[in-house]
Amino acid sequence: MSKSTCLQDARDTILLCGGYQLPDRNASAIRALGTARLLQTLGYKVYVLGKLPTSDTSRDINRMLWQANGLPDIECISINKPTSDFSGRSYVVSADPIEAFVAKLGAGSVRAILTYNYSARGTNKVNQFCRQHGIASILDCTEWYGWEGRNIIRNITRLFGVHIKMRYLTKQAGNVIVASYFLERFLPKQHLLKLPFVVDPNETRWQQGPLPENEQPVFTYSGSPGPGMHKDRLPIMVSAFAKLKQQAHVFKVNIVGLTEQQYLAVMPEHRNTIERLGDSIQFFGRVAHSESISLLKSSDFSVFFRKPNRVANVGFSTKYVEAATLGIPVISNETSDLAAYLKPGKNGFLAREFSNTAIEQALTQAVSLSAEERKLMHLRCRKLQPFNYQHWLSQAESFFNQLVVRK
């Protein structure tokens, strides 16, 4: 891929800004680093402004390099303290961190500022700053919040903010990146790029391991199910596995991301269900991303289920991206653009609908495969790399070459 034609002028820098828990502590951070690698390949200088881990002495650091397997470094900057003397307001309510870092770089060098799922107030401030300095503003929108938990004030604020952002601030910015067709269809007149997710398969963490040789099929759920388990519906999955156990199927289920106690705190009525599953289910609690990936690599299937609502359809599952990149078949139900990638019986199983019966049927199909059939499915998955960033270079180059700059 040749260097983007946009880089003929002095504006060759792009900032990716958001609440990324860098370098790999949440899904948004993984998305940011994959996008940064794509932009580097197009010839841009890229800085990722997010939340950095604290140092061993517990003092905040404001800069780190993401170094991966001899690949070009990606410079990560603290969005809470982008410069050593920063004393401005939070990125949630202002453009202060971005203004401080752009002042250090020189506004004339910055081509675009991408904000990831920013608050409406912060987005408006960044849009205004970009307009003042001839910089393109890009909104990376992968979430449309629904009602979660019992905090009424928080829910009302989030719902109102995302409504303002989608209806008004996307037009104010002029450039939008979305993760699915659902939001692409909602914003038909915007300068838009659909980018579900990209990763660099050359990074060590995405290297495919040896084929699993499990005597019994191993299913792994890894992630955070959200408040009240409203994002990932673990209870319906656990109930389905309990029925398979009653039918004398033999399997192992790994639950990574929460402990058994945390699960039962939300679902106390499942205590007997967990006891019946016995050693067929194991809770790992929250682990490092590297350990989560290691467990996934040794599994026969990645499994998760989500209610097909607007929240699920706007984004794209990082769980699917990780499994597909590692060559692990996935069992899920149809949300977002998942059906475009997951072909039942080929690289996993897709429940026909979000119901107990359909989910049980999909899991039964998986658990009934022989070891040889599971191996063949793994081999088929390994040949597919739909989220390799190089597959998305052409679309991305076209989008970034034609960025809208508001005056």
Q: What is the per-residue pLDDT for 152?
A: 84
Residue 344 lies in a domain: yes
> What's the pLDDT band for 55 if we cut at 50, 70, 90?
low
Token pair of 102 as six digits: 């752009």
Q: Are 154 and 142 in the same domain?
A: yes
Q: What is the per-residue pLDDT for 227?
A: 80
Q: What is the per-residue pLDDT for 148?
A: 73
Strand order in the sheet with 191-194: 63-66, 74-78, 45-51, 13-21, 110-116, 136-141, 174-178, 191-194
Q: Are 42 and 400 in contact (CB under 8 A)?
A: yes
Residue 332 lies in a domain: yes
Q: Are 27 and 125 in the same domain?
A: yes
Task: Give the predicted TM-score (pTM) of the model.
Answer: 0.92
Q: Name the nearest CA neighbour of 196 among 182, 216, 211, 212.
A: 182
Q: Note the pLDDT tens digit of each residue in 288-324.
A: 999 999 999 999 999 999 999 999 999 999 999 999 9
Report residue 23 CA to chain centroid gap: 13
Q: Are 359 and 375 in the same domain?
A: yes
Given a cut of 80, whether residue 60 has pLDDT beyond it is no
Given a cut of 80, whether residue 61 has pLDDT beyond it is no
Number of folded domains in the chain? Answer: 2
Residue 31 lies in a domain: yes
220 Cβ contact partners less than 8 Å away, ≥ 6 residues apart: 253, 254, 256, 295, 296, 299, 301, 302, 303
Buried b (16+ CB within 10 A) or exposed e, 61-83: ebebebebeeeeebebbbbbbbb
Percent of residues in the chain assigned helix, strand, coil, to nearest 5:
45, 20, 40
Q: Are 93 and 31 in the same domain?
A: yes
Q: Note the pLDDT tens digit of each residue in 158-214.
A: 889 899 999 999 999 999 999 999 999 999 889 999 999 999 999 999 999 999 999
Domain enclosing residue 364, as ranges: 204-383
Q: Are 266 and 331 in the same domain?
A: yes
Q: What is the per-residue pLDDT for 9?
A: 64
Q: Are 255 and 139 in the same domain?
A: no
Percent pLDDT > 90 in the chain is 86
275-288: average pLDDT: 97
Q: What is the per-residue pLDDT for 280?
A: 98
Rounded CA Rg of the chain = 22
Residue 406 lies in a domain: no
Q: Note the pLDDT tens digit of each residue in 222-263.
A: 998 888 887 899 999 999 999 999 999 999 999 999 999 999
Q: CA-to-CA distance for 363 and 218, rounded, in angstroms? A: 12
Q: Are 66 and 212 in the same domain?
A: no
44-58: average pLDDT: 82
Q: Name the nearest CA neighbour of 207 among 74, 68, 82, 55.
A: 68
Residue 130 lies in a domain: yes
Could you tell me the sign of the dihedral formed by the alpha carbons of 100, 104, 106, 109, in that order?
Answer: negative
What average pLDDT does the chain have?
93
Q: Are 111 and 149 in the same domain?
A: yes
Residue 263 lies in a domain: yes
Residue 287 lies in a domain: yes
Q: Are 268 and 345 in the same domain?
A: yes
Residue 345 lies in a domain: yes
Q: Are 84 and 219 in the same domain?
A: no
Residue type at 93?
V
Q: Are 257 and 395 in the same domain?
A: no
Q: Are 266 and 140 in the same domain?
A: no
Given a cut of 50, whether residue 3 has pLDDT beyond it is no
At 242, which CATH number?
3.40.50.2000
Q: Name the nearest CA neighbour of 111 among 39, 63, 219.
A: 39
Given a cut of 70, whether residue 328 has pLDDT beyond it is yes
Q: Name the nearest CA neighbour of 304 among 250, 234, 366, 356.
A: 234
Q: Note the pLDDT tens digit of each residue in 103-124.
A: 999 999 999 999 999 999 999 9
Q: Which residue has the higher pLDDT, 18 or 58?
A: 18
